[in-house]
Amino acid sequence: MKSSNQYWKGIDELEQTPEFVESEGREFYEGLPLDKVFSNDDSFRANRRDFLKFFGFSVGAVALAACNKTPVKYAMPYAIHPDNVTPGVPLHYASSSISDYEGFPMLVKVREGRPIKFEPNKEAEFYGGGLDGLAHASILSLYDTNRTPGAQKKIETAYDSIEWAEADEAIMKGLSSAASSGKQIAVVSRSSTSLLLKSAVEKLNEKYGNVVHVNYEPVSYSGILHANEQSFGKKAIPAYHFGKADVIVSFGADFLGTWISPVRFSADWGKNRVPKNGKMSKHIQFESLMSLSGANADVRVPMTASSTGAHLVTLYNELLQLAGSSMVSGPKKELAGQAIKHAAEDLWKARGKSLVVSGSNDVNDQIIVNAINTLLGNYGTTIDMNNHFNGYSGDDSSFKKFTSDVNSGRVGAAIFVDANPSYSHKSFGSLLSKIPLTVSNALIMDETARSCTYLTPDLHALESWDIKEPYVGSYVFNQPTIGPVFQGRQIAESLMVWSGQSNSASGDKTYTYELTKSIFDSKIGGDFNKAIERGFLMSTASASPVSLGVSPADAASKIGARKTSETNLVLYQKVGVRDGYFANTPWAHEMPDPVTKVCWDNYLSISKPDADKAGLKDGDVAKVTANGVTLDSIPVLIQPGQARGTYGIALGYGRMLPESVQNDLKDLGQNVYPMVDHSGNTCNYVISEGVSVEKVEGAYELARTQSHHTIEGRNIVREASLDAYNEDPYVTNHHKHNLVSLWEEHDYSKGHHWAMAIDLNSCTGCSACIVSCSIENNVPIVGRTEIRRRREMHWIRIDRYYSFEVPQAATVHIDKIMGDAEVSEGDYLTEEKKINNYTEDTSDALYDNVKVVHQPMLCQHCDHAPCETVCPVLATTHSGEGLNQMTYNRCIGTKYCANNCPYKVRRFNWFRFNENKKFDYHFSNDLGKMVINPDVTVRSRGVMEKCSFCVQRIQSAKLQAKREDRKMESDEFTTACAQTCPSKAIVFGDLNDPKSEISKLYNNERSYHVIEELDTKPSIVYMTKIRNKKEKSNNHVAHH
């Protein structure tokens, strides 16, 4: 039925005019001007000239547009989708750390086939579940463009690429001729704990005979090895358990920074540093330099390094006296304030739960240490000789024997495995030419490889299979997480090939996989896949007491006969760079030294009184002579707390890197390995003879991230003694300000509320968090010059403050207005003016007793954030979960937010730090960019950035929970800094989750906010530092 309703478009249609009726049938109402087009009317048609004009313009415009070169980016899809790989979802593989050779369980985070970050293996409880700065930094060595591409042969002075087969043939020929001429074949390796290497060397010996395996360590622990061999018949370093010790006494052993296995020791030490039931461990450090361990000690007393033995004997005698035994004859040398006597009393009270360690590399010193620990009954509790450590087994005397063999022409071939003695040994470089065949496995052309006849580059550890045995019966597994980036070959495979084994792969399994599996099956046994997945196996043997098989009296008398000197040069390792093997890793240098806060260089550290005597100040340069070696000019740094008469220079610098390295890594620092004293059985890193320091013309500005070192009496870091804390747990946190706010409170009642707690008690300041954060968040490396300009980009930093104990009461002049102030003995001075004027008027003794605090500082994610209100374009805003978020795309770079930040944690992109030849680090080359975390934006020039509380991790954990349709647990993930902290000082979590650790810590009696009187309402609480020390006067509780 037709509808009675009629709709019409216009009057014309309603009226059905003839025009309408006619036009309705046409497609174009007005018709097409066809007749005009086909007419001869020129005004309507484009003529020839117009055509040329339009044509010319079009061609020109297209040409101009084409001139703009659009970068071509290739994104290759997977031809065959690999199993388990989902783009955007990271995979974690268990593996072992590469920066220390004993092997340390960790996880490798892999995105789309690229390893991008190392994360601690939290299941490996024994190892503490942390990683240090160098461990994180070392990932860059995988993506180092300077790695040697394939086998090389030395012709004259240059290297030429050769085929692997050709290299194998030549090397095997060389090895055979060495064997047939009756000469030694030496495999010189870092004291690796690799089982693959071990079995490959065995195979090599089977084939050629007369193969010697020389373990070489640039910084050796031979003193401990020999002492233990003599004392207990085991040439090994024991396993130490700092966490089980109630009293720790260290004589110059920087066990939190560089000594043996600092990551594990930090974790262990941290366990007993948070007061529980009114108790915590007491850490006493006697040392000559200011080490990281010294900075964290409850009691720290400067000690002359060359008197370590005498002080140890004194402690031994004090303990013998307390034990009622007769004393040994030997030197008696007390420290200031009868520190050794007090230490002995503390140790004796904690018999069986104490630990004495020494950083000395002298056998007799270490025998006394063994005697002390035996007397105290520490073996079996805090020291475990059964599950002893396998690392650092390099023995100076065996290397000495090797060098003399080389010198007398008894070595026919030498294969250097991760060893670089030409750099780290004074006289070795010149000996290399006496060996007919020399082969190096170095990844980059290092000092030793430069003089070798063949260079057969190893695979990077991340490309390799391996089994390591860091402790007896404990294994750590290494699995490849990426295919070989360069044409290298794993050294174990190379050695097998040279032993005449066939390295043909069977099926889809590589040769090294088969080798690893066969070693696993024969030496360990069990489920290989499960072991690889977990990454490690732990020994189950228990510790037991041992008896001393050596006479301490002999050692004591030998120590007594030793010459000591008041002027010493201590050659030490820095926390970031260590022995220098990874000196080509820029993050190792960009990470500030935890104590001096210097990046990029080594320097002469000197005590204030010595500096005053020599007329030196920070920024001067000095000429240093020691052990017959002279450094013409080295920058000077005055180090509070350093023993008088002691100078310090860090090892590990002055590396000769490939010529292609043109950034700040080139000619970095000065090599002081030639100063090491090789005259005795063990290397001596304390040089007592012929040490002279004099000022020379010139100046050198060290790149330091902190230049003001005292806290100016401010209530920023709170600390109290254990006694005061036991009396009143809220000791420093009673005073609260009556704060009134104009702002409305945020409502966090729904969802999450992220927060962080940082325990100043367990934080050692080791700076692992800095590197972990930087790699997680694509923080650029800016180099020495920019750090000198105070523009480091770290999102988290560790503030370090010194305070000085007043040796005697005095009146110090402050300034014109404030006049004079009285300071009494035992006060801690924290104000620059008082400190300077006190020493001017009275004594230098002020610099001997230094108290150090470390405070990690990062974006506080304030609820009332001063930065948020001042941004004109709302580029920084507050999230509903308590995060202070930064929108890089919206930022125009007024920098107002950073000015208004009371914590000064915002960082500005002063330059474009990627693809910039001036910042030629991994962000500026295609290979290096592989390490970039794809979850985090690489910031452009001109925008502000700062800590985001790892928002990408929060989001991915939330997404994961959502996908699995469950409620997210707040302990499911953590931030990069908290994750890596070896001593577990940082805890991150959800305050809205009552079960979370953070919500407990937030209400802890030690928790406080920094500058809380400003009422910025930070989301980070710090927890008061408690020192296990008797305070003469308690001057930090005072109202500010």
Partner 1 sequence: MYQAEIRKPLVTGGKSYADVTNDICRPIENKPSSSWWLGFSVALVLLLVLIGTLGWTTWEGIGTWGVNKTVMWGWDITNFVFWIGIGHAGTLISAILLLFRQKWRMSINRSAEAMTIFAVLCAAVFPLFHMGRVWLGYWPLPLPNAFGSLWVNFNSPLLWDVFAISTYFSVSLVFWYLGLIPDIATVRDRAKSKGRKFWYGFFAMGWNGSARTWARYEVVALILAGISTPLVLSVHTIVSFDFATSVIPGWHTTIFPPYFVAGAIFSGFGMVLTLLLVARHVMGYQDYITSEHLEAMCKVILLTGSIVGLAYITEFVIAAYSGYEYEQYAFMNRMFGPYAWAYWTMMTCNLIAPQVFWSKWARTTPWFIFIISIIVNIGMWFERFVIIVTSLHRDFLPSSWVMYKPTWVEAGIFAGTLGLFFTLFFLFAKFLPVINMSEVKTIIKDKE
Residues lying near partner 1 in the complex (CB under 8 A) are found at: 706-714, 716, 786, 789-792, 797, 799-801, 815-818, 855, 857, 866, 869-874, 890-896, 898-900, 902-904, 907-912, 940-944, 1010-1011, 1014, 1016, 1040
Phi, psi for 368 (deg, rounded to 5): -65, -40
- Please identify which residue in the block is written with the tokens 């009143």: 728
Q: Are 373 and 543 contacting, i.e. CB atoms less than 8 angstroms apart? A: no
Per-residue H/E/C for 619-682? CEEEEEEECCEEEEEEEEEECCCCCCCEEEEECCCCCCCCCCCCCCCCCCCCCCHHHCECCCCC
**Residue from 803, 802, 814 nearest 838 by CA:** 814
Structural element, H or E, at residue 202: helix 195-208
Q: How far is the CB of 872 from partner 1 (least distance, A)?
A: 4
- Please identify which residue in the block is written with the tokens 């004291």: 191
Q: How far is the CB of 741 from partner 1 (least distance, A)?
A: 13
Residue placing its CB nearer to partner 1 in the complex, 358 or 639: 639
Task: Compute the radius of gyration of the chain from its Cα atoms.
Answer: 34
Q: How far is the CB of 860 from partner 1 (least distance, A)?
A: 11
Cα within 13 Å of Cα(631), Cβ side = 26
Report the alpha-carbon distance of residue 159 to residue 145 in Å, rounded: 17
Q: How far is the CB of 878 from partner 1 (least distance, A)?
A: 12
Q: How far is the CB of 594 from partner 1 (least distance, A)?
A: 13
What the block records as the tokens of 607 is 């005590």
Query: Which ranges constitute the DSSP H helices of 89-156?
Result: 133-137
Q: How far is the CB of 903 from partner 1 (least distance, A)?
A: 6
Cα within 13 Å of Cα(620), Cβ side = 18
Residue placing its CB nearer to partner 1 in the complex, 601 or 786: 786
Q: How far is the CB of 895 from partner 1 (least distance, A)?
A: 4
Residue placing its CB nearer to partner 1 in the complex, 739 or 873: 873
Residue placing its CB nearer to partner 1 in the complex, 95 or 830: 830
Q: How far is the CB of 912 from partner 1 (least distance, A)?
A: 7
Structural element, H or E, at residue 211: strand 211-216
Q: How far is the CB of 974 from partner 1 (least distance, A)?
A: 25
Report the alpha-carbon distance of residue 877 to residue 890 in Å, rounded: 11
**Residue from 214, 678, 195 nearest 435 by CA:** 214
- Which residues does 489 contact at the CB level (< 8 Å), separation at least 6? 151, 164, 456, 457, 458, 459
Q: How far is the CB of 730 from partner 1 (least distance, A)?
A: 22
Residue placing its CB nearer to partner 1 in the complex, 900 or 1035: 900
Residue placing its CB nearer to partner 1 in the complex, 555 or 944: 944
Residue placing its CB nearer to partner 1 in the complex, 288 or 909: 909
Q: Are 675 and 604 contacting, i.e. CB atoms less than 8 angstroms apart? A: no
Residue placing its CB nearer to partner 1 in the complex, 485 or 769: 769
**Residue from 987, 1019, 743 nearest 903 by CA:** 1019
Strand ranges (E), 495-628: 536-537, 568-572, 598-599, 604-606, 620-626
Report the alpha-carbon distance of residue 99 to residue 91 in Å, rounded: 22
Q: Are 1010 and 693 contacting, i.e. CB atoms less than 8 angstroms apart? A: no
Pairing relationship of beta strands 247-251 and 354-358 according to DSSP bridges: parallel
Residue placing its CB nearer to partner 1 in the complex, 328 or 711: 711
| Residue 534 identity | R
What the block records as the tokens of 1026 is 């408690």
Residue placing its CB nearer to partner 1 in the complex, 524 or 1011: 1011
DSSP-assigned beta bridge partners for residue 117: 109
- Please identify which residue in the block is written with the tokens 């000594």: 259
Structural element, H or E, at residue 755: strand 754-759
Tell me the C-alpha to C-alpha distance, in Å, between residue 270 and each of 1, 131, 368, 488: 91, 14, 27, 40
Q: How far is the CB of 780 from partner 1 (least distance, A)?
A: 12
Q: How far is the CB of 843 from partner 1 (least distance, A)?
A: 24
What the block records as the tokens of 874 is 């709302």
Q: How far is the CB of 945 from partner 1 (least distance, A)?
A: 11
Residue placing its CB nearer to partner 1 in the complex, 808 or 899: 899
Residue placing its CB nearer to partner 1 in the complex, 486 or 910: 910
The full DSSP string for 703-734 is EES------TT-TTS-EEEHHHHHH-TTTT--
Q: What angle do CA 147, 151, 152 make, to 5 degrees?
A: 90
Q: Are 976 and 777 contacting, i.e. CB atoms less than 8 angstroms apart? A: yes
Residue placing its CB nearer to partner 1 in the complex, 244 or 704: 704
Q: How far is the CB of 827 from partner 1 (least distance, A)?
A: 18
Report the alpha-carbon distance of residue 441 to residue 489 in Å, rounded: 9
Residue placing its CB nearer to partner 1 in the complex, 244 or 854: 854
Query: In the chain, how long is the greatest CA-to-CA distance?
Result: 135
Phi, psi for 146 (deg, rounded to 5): -90, 5
Q: How far is the CB of 705 from partner 1 (least distance, A)?
A: 9
Residue placing its CB nearer to partner 1 in the complex, 750 or 816: 816
Q: How far is the CB of 868 from partner 1 (least distance, A)?
A: 8
Residue placing its CB nearer to partner 1 in the complex, 379 or 801: 801
Neighbour-count burial of 63, counting CB atoms closer than 10 A to its CB (0-12 exposed, 13-18 middle, 19+ buried): exposed
Q: How far is the CB of 480 from partner 1 (least distance, A)?
A: 40
Residue placing its CB nearer to partner 1 in the complex, 410 or 912: 912
Say how many C-beta atoms besides its own lie within 10 A of residue 78's C-beta. 10
Cα within 13 Å of Cα(851), Cβ side = 24
Residue placing its CB nearer to partner 1 in the complex, 310 or 901: 901
SS3 state of residue 454: strand
CA dihedral of residues 740, 741, 745, 746 (deg, nearest 10): -130
Q: How far is the CB of 598 from partner 1 (least distance, A)?
A: 14
